Structure 1
Amino acid sequence: MSKYRDMSSGQYMNDLGRIRWRSGVFSARSTGTDSAIHPLFPGYEGVLFNGRDGYINRIPTKKYNRLSIRMYSSRKTTAQFFWFYDQRWTKFGQIVFPVEKGWHTYIVNPRSSGRWRGKPMGLRFDPTTHSGVNIKINWLRLYRQTRRRVKLVWSEEAPRGSTRVYIDVDRDPTNRNMDLLKEKDSRSSNSFSWDPSGYGPGNYYFYIRPGGKRPGRYSRRITINRAPLTRIMNPDDKGGKDYAGSVSRDPWDMSQPSDVWKTDHLRDISFSNGIMSAFPTTGDGYLHLRVPVPIDTDKYHRLVFRFRYEGPFHYGDGTMSRVIWSPDHNNIDLFQTSNDIVAYPTWETYVIDLKTASKDGGNIGWNGQVNSFRFDPLEWKARRRFYLDYVLLRADDTANKRFVIKWRDAKKKRRPTRVSLYYDSNKSGFNGRRIASKLTQRKGLNRFKWNTERVPAGTYYIYAIANDGRNKTRTYSSGPVKIVH
């Protein structure tokens, strides 16, 4: 919970106030009896899905079978998880669980509801059914329960009563940071098996508290390793060669007014430090990008732009962007209009494949040659100052004889890791052909030059298998590389 978009994209919250993120903790206060947040929002109907929209990031329930959440509540209450199979929230499952006062880790089994199946596109969490409750969330995990267990063994010289077993993230029993795992009858020889799969990476300690006034004891440190978080940077869905940067060697990077050919219904326009800023005067403010040479839509079809605006998100008021294009700027009947691209107040990079993007108007689509390309930053009542960093129209990553695969490990503390690279044509199953084996992963950006001379012409996805000796992870590239001979 360290980022604005870690919870509900910073939006889609109900009956919550005093919202903030600080030191990796989300906090809020319930203002009604139906408080809710969306760790995974399904996305609106009729929009171009992007980023973390649930419609394009569905949950495979056969793989993920448990939910865990580290949460604080200022009072005893009731919480619930919902998961949705449509964007109207009419098809859903639900599970309810009790919440105690203070900090606790809750393990929830959605399968016990009998409705955890298929691939839901949305996940909602209601932290309380009461108003005026202060809540904090440190982390939330949707995970696969494993058979791994950590066994704790201890002895007692004079057993009596019961003994409580806690898990703690430090060695201070007074700071109320422990979770009770088990209370059991005291014996001279004791053991307990702990399932760590619901807990995040980090250091933990068992704390044994015997009955009566006998002092408690901490165990040695237990470390849950963070698995490799490999991210393939090249190829990716942002593509390769850029239209404006290629045909005129002057990309639409907003470094100068000439990047924009024409504007309308915008005021207070400025270009500073590579950022264009303006204020819409109506609900139809727009700018035309400079198109010196017709755009080859078969080649340049990956739209990438970085954008933000001032003020709050409000979908009903029009906090969304659109692009409009045409083969003839003077013939309005030929204009093609994309569906809405839901936009957020903070800096975000939006990636859209215009070849497959749904449209709000027009029957040509992203085909033929385009001579006019327009960007509408905000719609309807959303009169807010906006900031545009760049607009790119990119081709697929392409190679003939050589292609440089790039990747990095996103986790902060890394164990020595070996990475093997593969390619396949369908981005499914991790059953492709090997490129390279057991490459030593280094800090920062890693590169491998792939010899593609003998690779048949076609479109391929790269995947990486990373192994740090304790965990193995697999990940596909977000976009393809096109081999052309």
Structure 2
Amino acid sequence: MSAVGLLALLLPLLVGSLAPAAAQPDPDPPGVSSVADDVTAVPWDGAAPAERMRAVAALAPTSRAIVTTTGAFPDALASGVLQDDAMLVGATDGRLDDATKALLTTAGVDEVIILGGVAAVPEDVRDDLPVGADVTRISGLDRTETAAEAAVQAATGDVSTVLLARARGPEDNPSAGFIDAIGAGAWAAATGYPVLLVDNNFVTDATRAAMADLDPDELVVIGGTAAVSEEAAEAVAAGRDIRRVAGPERFTTAARIAEETRPDGAETVVLLDGTDPEAWTTGFAAAHPAATGDAAILLSNGDELPTATLAALDDLSPSALICAAPAVACNAARDAAGFAPLVPLAVAPAPGSPLPVGTTVSFTGETEVTLDDDGGCLTGGTRSGDAARDCTVVVRVAGDDNRVGRTATVTWPALITSDTTVEAPTEYLSPLAGGRWDFDEAVDVRPAADINNSKGAQVDTGASVLRYGGEPGNVPVLWSGFGGAVPVPPDGLAVPVDTTRFTRFLARVYSPAAGPLGLEFRSCSTTPNVDCINPASMVAQGRAGTNLQPGWQTVAIDLAGDPAWTGNPIHTIYLYANGGTIVDDLRITDGSTASTITTTTAPGVAVRWDLDEDPSNNTDPTSALWGELPGGVLDPDVLPPGRYWLHTVAADGTAGSTAGPIDIVSPGLSEGPLVLDGEWARDVRGNAWDFAAGGLVAGTDDVIELTNAERIDGPGLTGRNTNHSGDPYVVLDVPAPIDTAVWTHVVVEFSVDGPFDLAFAPGGGTMGRVLYQQGDQAWRNGNDIVAYPNQRTYVVEMTSPHSLEPNTPLWQAAPVTGLRFDPNEDEAPGRTWRVESISLTRGWPTR
């Protein structure tokens, strides 16, 4: 009996007709993921980086290998030019896994290049290499120097063209640091063109020197000006011809690089998911197979193929496809390239929804269909097992003379969510540079030295909670004014609570026993040097509270109508609780009701939420990282903004199925960039203080003096303190007097690494300062700008007395002829810091 006949006896036939294959450009309904017989699918999503690199390298094994780290992409940026006759593999924690060692042995590898320094790939890796292999190392002090060294060593004879790519992406988009270089690496492997790098538009000496050594006729810039600025390109080219290969986004850039690499078409296309944060592992390893297999690299946008990718597939006309992207994108690429259609498959009940135990399942097709793997959840064609767990099976569909067969993975998930994003109510802290009261930073409450009656309450940054000690405590979660400091968020003097807008207090709290949760709030005088610690400065004072029950709960305190709250700007808030109380999150919202996310499961299946994605640690009932989801509803009025995963609860108490991530997002006013009313350096000087150019040349660069510090590799202006006495400082280029009646607000984006410590002593001094000159050599001192952890944007109103030290000549008293910024006041050497940008604008920025 044929397999299809046997299956017909076991599984009832689906009633209904099948649409012709030609009418189904996407052959897979939700819940089905197919790999066509004519597509080479390589491991990607969920696979270990070393496995991803090895699988691609194995497509074109060779006797020469390059070993780089799987831990990060910077060293691999330089690998393309070395891959003309070498395959790229990865070492994890300095060692090769057994499968990679076997690949090197089978390929007869007798020459190995270790790419990167010993910190990235330790010398121990030599023990994993084939015996007798000739081993060399290429490395530099940073990613730009490693690329320069690789470029120079790979050069044989005259070099006509050098490719220039970015070396690092912005913090909120790190994949931008490598995605363009993937295409550049394949181009380099195919042509021998070296790849050099610029780090956030800072041109290093190593890049300049390599360019001089290679002496090409042409510099080809990869990516748009956001990746590599015109100024950086001109600095590298040093008078040579420049052209740019770029598109408006990464997908078009990849398509244009593919056209440059394979102008006459490609035998093979390698398709990568351009949104995959680990795409570099597959992409850089694909340079050698692409070079030897007449291939080009293109990108999908997750499941979708962008217009540029579709057009490139049509132009390149490949006959083979290597895919490290979602199956739906791979199938769309087959269709765009004109491959033969797939044989259709019908499944009942439709996959993509929970499948209750006892439900009968059927598969039908126009060719032979076999069930390769029942997933442990189908018995005789009927759903069995635990309904809290996904049911995933593998079905084989045979091809015929005109259509291509495929292997289909069919899934009935145990858990479905109604959406993946929901908006929370607008809250007070979300519009502020200070962030939210989520207690992931010690400064989410006033530092312990300034807390009265806290009774041991402190922020536990490891668990992201506020823990009260053994006694009742009173903790300031909003305060007004560090003495002698510029009021900046989260200082209540800088950003008081607008009580006409924000009226509802929400707190997610664990209480070991029944007891109170109380608020005390104050509206205070804003006279300079007076804050809410002094009772004489209070304009209004109020109290409110609620009762807690044992365990975790979200409580609401409505303050609308409270006479001490309504109409008074609130500068200070104290939170009172009994000993042992744990606070996970605080919010003051506008009182609006948020939408919810609902879940669908089989009957009787419970659901939990989880913040860390790992359900195995959901055992401590006092943990703020997980909890039950009553009714399977994710409610932003109960759970605060954040990223969540949901798990079904299996019969044995463990997690069955997982859905996520699901984002509860705040609609706070902080979304989007700051909008400045003019920018003096750009509009008057002709060049913004964005630290894009290298060097410190007076009149041409942003900085004319850097004292008590040295510039190091990193974004913007990144520095390291060098002196044992004296603050580090940066003097900006001010070629013309500044009209202080017009230009009144300094906007600085900076951060200081290391511990948050305001002490005036070595190891302390985590505060910045703006200073200025007015026609002479004396520096007028601004007040301290408290450098809260992480990169933040601070706005200093220079015309405000709060922004200046006492007795300092006023900003508006005379034109400013010099401007200086001290990124910290730590007199000990070694502390690192970064200034992303400094702007001088007219008035307060908006968003």
Give the shorter-chain TM-score range.
0.5 to 0.7
- Tell me the residue number matched to 1:106: 555
Taking a change above 3 Å as real, the CA distance of residues 74 and 148 of structure 1, as seen in their structure-2 partners, is closer
Q: AA paired with 1:98?
A: N
Contact 2:485–2:785 under 8 Å retained in 1: yes
1:20 has 2:436 as partner: no
Q: Distance in 2 between matches of 1:301 and 1:257?
A: 26
1:121 has 2:571 as partner: yes
Taking a change above 3 Å as real, the CA distance of residues 329 and 231 of structure 1, as seen in their structure-2 partners, is same
Taking a change above 3 Å as real, the CA distance of residues 83 and 302 of structure 1, as seen in their structure-2 partners, is same
Question: For 2:461, what is the secondary structure of its paired residue?
Answer: strand
1:33 has 2:477 as partner: no
Counterpart mapping for 1:135-146 below 5 A = 135-137=582-584, 139-145=585-591
Taking a change above 3 Å as real, the CA distance of residues 59 and 17 of structure 1, as seen in their structure-2 partners, is closer
Q: Distance in 2 between matches of 1:59 and 1:283?
A: 38
1:272 has 2:713 as partner: yes
Q: Distance in 1 between matches of 2:509 and 2:483?
A: 32
Deviations 1:163-190 (A, max 9, x none): xxxxx988xxx9985699xxxxxxxxxx
1:387 has 2:826 as partner: no
1:369 has 2:815 as partner: yes
Deviations 1:252-288 (A, max 9, x none): 5164334432344x24x12323323325533544332
TM-aligned CA deviation for residue 81 of structure 1: 1.7
- Tell me the residue number matched to 1:243: 681
- Tell me the residue number matched to 1:336: 780
Deviations 1:110-131 (A, max 9, x none): 57986434221122323x332x
CA RMSD, Structure 1 to Structure 2 (Å): 4.8
TM-aligned CA deviation for residue 346 of structure 1: 1.7
1:325 has 2:755 as partner: no
The percent identity for this pair of structures is: 21
Deviations 1:399-435 (A, max 9, x none): xxxxxxxxxxxxxxxxxxxxxxxxxxxxxxxxxxxxx
Question: For 1:379, what is the secondary structure of its paired residue?
Answer: coil
1:51 has 2:489 as partner: yes
Q: Distance in 2 between matches of 1:235 and 1:147?
A: 28
TM-aligned CA deviation for residue 109 of structure 1: 4.0
Q: AA paired with 1:124?
A: Y
1:281 has 2:711 as partner: no
- Bigger relative contact order, structure 1 or 2, given CA contacts below 8 A and separation 6+? 1
Q: Distance in 2 between matches of 1:337 and 1:101?
A: 52
Q: 2:510 aligns with which of 46, 64, 72?
A: 72
Taking a change above 3 Å as real, the CA distance of residues 280 and 76 of structure 1, as seen in their structure-2 partners, is farther
TM-aligned CA deviation for residue 141 of structure 1: 2.9
Question: For 1:243, what is the secondary structure of its paired residue?
Answer: helix
Q: Which runs of 4+ in 1 moved over 6 A?
A: 1-4, 111-114, 146-150, 195-203, 380-384
Q: Distance in 2 between matches of 1:58 and 1:351?
A: 15
Contact 2:750–2:837 under 8 Å retained in 1: no
Contact 1:66–1:143 under 8 Å retained in 2: yes
Contact 2:515–2:548 under 8 Å retained in 1: yes
Q: Distance in 1 between matches of 2:474 and 2:723?
A: 32
Q: Distance in 1 between matches of 2:724 and 2:789?
A: 19
Deviations 1:191-218 (A, max 9, x none): xxxx997876899xxxxxxxxxxxxxxx
TM-aligned CA deviation for residue 371 of structure 1: 2.2
Q: Which has the larger Rg?
A: 2
Q: Distance in 2 between matches of 1:148 and 1:252?
A: 39
Counterpart mapping for 1:144-159 below 5 A = 144-145=590-591
Q: Distance in 2 between matches of 1:179 and 1:33?
A: 31
Question: For 2:820, what is the secondary structure of its paired residue?
Answer: strand
Q: AA paired with 2:711?
A: S
Deviations 1:122-159 (A, max 9, x none): 22323x332xx26241x433235579999xxxxxxxxx
Counterpart mapping for 1:181-260 below 5 A = 233=672, 236=675, 238-243=676-681, 247=685, 249=687, 251-253=689-691, 255-258=694-697, 259-260=702-703
Q: Distance in 2 between matches of 1:19 and 1:140?
A: 15
Contact 2:732–2:819 under 8 Å retained in 1: yes
Q: AA paired with 2:696?
A: P
Q: Distance in 1 between matches of 2:519 and 2:758?
A: 24
Q: Distance in 1 between matches of 2:435 and 2:669?
A: 20
- Tell me the residue number matched to 2:303: none
Q: Distance in 2 between matches of 1:67 and 1:382?
A: 43
Question: For 2:811, what is the secondary structure of its paired residue?
Answer: coil
Q: 2:749 aligns with which of 288, 296, 306?
A: 306
TM-aligned CA deviation for residue 70 of structure 1: 1.8
Q: How many residues are paired up? A: 340
Contact 1:245–1:251 under 8 Å retained in 2: no
Question: For 2:493, what is the secondary structure of its paired residue?
Answer: helix
Q: AA paired with 1:270?
A: R
Q: 2:519 aligns with which of 76, 81, 87?
A: 81
Contact 2:442–2:461 under 8 Å retained in 1: no
Q: 2:797 aligns with which of 332, 337, 353?
A: 353
- Tell me the residue number matched to 1:95: 544
TM-aligned CA deviation for residue 18 of structure 1: 6.7
Q: Distance in 1 between matches of 2:752 and 2:665?
A: 35
Q: Which runs of 5+ in 1 are unaligned?
A: 151-167, 181-194, 204-224, 397-458, 460-476, 481-485
Q: AA paired with 1:281?
A: H
Q: Distance in 2 between matches of 1:196 and 1:284?
A: 45
- Tell me the residue number matched to 1:162: none
TM-aligned CA deviation for residue 336 of structure 1: 2.4
Q: Distance in 2 between matches of 1:282 and 1:76?
A: 54
Q: Distance in 1 between matches of 2:465 and 2:522?
A: 24
Contact 1:244–1:392 under 8 Å retained in 2: no
Taking a change above 3 Å as real, the CA distance of residues 351 and 72 of structure 1, as seen in their structure-2 partners, is same
Taking a change above 3 Å as real, the CA distance of residues 281 and 329 of structure 1, as seen in their structure-2 partners, is farther
1:292 has 2:735 as partner: yes
Q: Distance in 1 between matches of 2:711 and 2:594?
A: 58
Q: Distance in 2 between matches of 1:368 and 1:307?
A: 27
- Tell me the residue number matched to 2:123: none
| Greater helix fraction, Structure 1 or Structure 2 | 2
Q: Distance in 1 between matches of 2:678 and 2:555?
A: 44
Q: Distance in 1 between matches of 2:825 and 2:545?
A: 39
Contact 1:308–1:388 under 8 Å retained in 2: yes
TM-aligned CA deviation for residue 103 of structure 1: 0.9
- Tell me the residue number matched to 2:41: none
Q: 1:61 aligns with which of 493, 499, 503?
A: 499
Q: AA paired with 2:787?
A: A
Question: For 1:375, what is the secondary structure of its paired residue?
Answer: strand
Taking a change above 3 Å as real, the CA distance of residues 107 and 239 of structure 1, as seen in their structure-2 partners, is same
Q: AA paired with 2:498?
A: P
Question: For 1:141, what is the secondary structure of its paired residue?
Answer: strand
| Greater strand fraction, Structure 1 or Structure 2 | 1
TM-aligned CA deviation for residue 374 of structure 1: 1.8
Contact 2:799–2:810 under 8 Å retained in 1: no
TM-aligned CA deviation for residue 28 of structure 1: 4.3
